[in-house]
Structure 1
Amino acid sequence: MHERLYDETEQANVRFVGFVSDQGRYDFGIVYSRMFFGKPLVVCMQTGRSSLLALDDVDNLEYLQKLFNLKSREEAEEVSAFLCNNLPALTLESEAESG
């Protein structure tokens, strides 16, 4: 028997973004939702790996490198810079609204 924790339906905004740099090509899907305290779900299209990420999370380069299976710290820095410019800032008000 399973205890259901939640079962929500939501019309979510999804954005697909691809970019190239000196380090490689990157393709991400970003699912914006009110669920999960407003943290968007970021999906790496090359690896299929995904995680809920907020701006605070993208400063952790080791985490990003491991999460998205990036080959170098330089790749992690580029992905971090990209995500810093493309993830919404979470505020106490937005967290309260989504909770």
Structure 2
Amino acid sequence: MDLFEKLYDEHENVKVRFVGFTTEQTRYDFGIVYTNLFFGKPLVVCMQTSRSTLLDPKDLEDIEYLQKAFKMDNRKQVEDLCEFFKIAIPGSSFQTQYE
């Protein structure tokens, strides 16, 4: 282990939500990991593509960010996804990760 400088190694019991839903155009399957790490931002994982990102309500104001994170071409699909995440991602105050 001399080759690596450990930055963190945390164990945490977290809340995980798995949700699948459809819109008029697409089916979605996501895992949302609510954690105290990563400044309190939930880790959102697309179960179909394995793409993931950290999201908070402020990130959802930028549709292009969501579009790039999940590599989506269809603007309507991104808007639908954004509406879902506005409900699923709770507002949280900024937390310092390294206290």
Give TM-score scaled by structure 1 length. 0.89
Identify which of 68, 77, 90 aligns with 1:88.
90
Aligned residues: 97
Letter of the 1:11 counterpart = N
What is the root-mean-square deviation of aligned Cα atoms in Å?
1.6
| Greater Cα shift, 52-61 or 80-89 | 52-61
2:48 maps to 1:14: no
Deviation for aligned residue 1:7: 0.5
- On the 8 A contact 1:62/1:73 being kept in 2, the answer is no
Structure 1 or 2: larger helix share? 1
- Sequence identity percentage: 49
Structure 1 residues 8-55: Cα deviation after superposition (integer angstroms, max 9, x where no partner) = 000111100111011201111000101111111000111100011111
- On the 8 A contact 2:37/2:97 being kept in 1, the answer is no
Give TM-score scaled by structure 2 length. 0.89
Distance in 2 separating the partners of 1:23 and 1:65: 16
Letter of the 1:38 counterpart = G
Partner of 2:40: 38
- On the 8 A contact 1:39/1:53 being kept in 2, the answer is yes
Deviating beyond 6 angstroms after TM superposition, the runs of 4 or more aligned structure 1 residues are: none
